Amino acid sequence: MILVTVGTQLPFDRLVKAVDTFAKDLTRPVLAQIGKGSYTPQNMKWIKNIEPADFDSVFRDATVIVSHAGIGTVLTAKRFGKPIILVPRQASLGEHRNDHQLATVGQLAGRPGIYVAHSDEDLKNYLLDDLDSPSREDPSEVGRASLVNYLKGYLATV
Amino acid sequence: MTEKKLKVLAASSGGGHWEQLMAMRGAFEGCDIVFATTIPGLLAKYDIRDGLVLPDCSRDSITMSIRCFFSAFAIVIKQRPDVVISTGAAPGLFCLLAGKLTGKRTIWIDSVANVEKLSLSGKLAGRIATLWLTQWQHLSRPDGPHYAGAVL
């Protein structure tokens, strides 16, 4: 299953509409979490929000995640070992207060299991591909261990 | 006699801030840890039984901010943590401020989403936090924020 998720805070109709437009051409079924969006998908299953209690099972069932460039979803995809395709929100299209999601994808592009779609065509091509998942030897684990150890060390001195 | 465990209050907004806090929860092993967040369901999602709920707020609503500040203050007074830690955003900053005003150690870890500059909360946290961290090396400065790693 392809899981599309836009988060709970802001609508992201551009992304939902793009996937809905070519959902019929995809080989896998799609579930879209549309949040506060007003566009109603015609060609794929959709829900407004995923209840926190259902979240894990929905993520486990997904083979690939399509998402706005929200850190929460990136970390969740990593936790479940799923490839994630990011579509950054753009301030010029009224999709966020500022363009920090563009900056985020600028830094994350090319990391294992993370793909950045800059156009609808990019997105469709990624969804027709078999994308690699983040590997167990994800280099970002080093940074995380470093932060955790640093905090541990700091707390030990208090 | 066993030594008293260090009590830590870890507070963040729901969503990405919370996922980041969860990604570093290994740092709290051996501590008496209390988590607080703005979306109640998130506590259950991570099997946290004695977690606390903070009212959400943003810079757009003054009423909500005042409510959030008093709630953060009440939590810090009641829980009496030795350390207050947050990954953001405004509700976490209020917890840090309450911690600072009551003489606790305070730790701010700016969100990894802030790639080009610190958030407004993150900048303000620099005046409050005893440990002030960014998750991007290029945003670190000699006088802080410092870089010690990142969840991503």
- Residue B1 within a domain: no
Longest dimension (CA), chain A: 58
Number of domains in chain B: 1
Q: Work out whether the CA dihedral B2, B6, B9, B15 comes out positive or negative.
A: negative
Q: How many interface pairs between A and B have CB atoms less than 8 angstroms apart?
A: 108
- Inter-axis angle of helices B90-101 and B62-79, nearest 10: 50
Residue with the two structure tokens 């620099």: B126
By DSSP bridging, strand B105-109 and strand B83-88 are parallel
What is the pTM assigned to this prediction?
Answer: 0.94
Q: Which CATH code, of 1.10.645.10, 3.40.50.2000, 1.10.3720.10, 3.40.190.10, is assigned to A2-157?
A: 3.40.50.2000
Phi, psi of A155 (to 5 degrees): -65, -30
Per-window interface: B 9-38 vs A, CB < 8 A: 14-20, 22-24, 26-29, 31
Contacts of B152 in chain A (CB under 8 A): 71, 74-75, 78, 108, 140, 143-144
Angle at A74 between CA A68 and CA A75, to 5 degrees: 150
CB atoms within 10 A of CB B29: 10
Contacts of A148 in chain B (CB under 8 A): 24, 26-27, 149
Contact B115 A103 (CB under 8 A): yes
Interface test with A, best of B31, B112, B138 (most A CBs within 10 A): B112
Model confidence band, residue A116 (pLDDT cutoffs 50, 70, 90): very high
The domain limits of chain A are 2-157
Residue of B nearest to A145 (CA): B149
Q: Which of A83, A36, A6, A142 is nearest to B148 (CA)?
A: A142
Model confidence pLDDT, tens digit, residues A40-97: 999 999 999 998 778 889 999 999 999 999 999 999 999 999 999 999 999 999 999 9
By DSSP bridging, strand A84-87 and strand A64-68 are parallel
Residue of A nearest to B133 (CA): A147
- Residue B56 within a domain: yes
DSSP annotation of A42 reads S
Model confidence band, residue A8 (pLDDT cutoffs 50, 70, 90): confident
At A65 the pLDDT is 98
Q: What's the CATH code of the domain at B121? A: 3.40.50.2000
- CB of B8 within 8 Å of any CB in chain A? yes
Model confidence pLDDT, tens digit, residues B43-88: 998 999 999 999 988 767 888 899 999 999 999 999 999 999 999 9
| ipTM associated with this complex | 0.96
| Residues of the domain holding B96 | 7-147
Mean pLDDT over A2-10 rounds to 93
- The Cα–Cα gap between B58 and B13 comes to 10
Q: Which of B87, B73, B76 is nearest to B132 (CA)?
A: B87
Of B24, B27, B111, the CB nearest to A71: B111
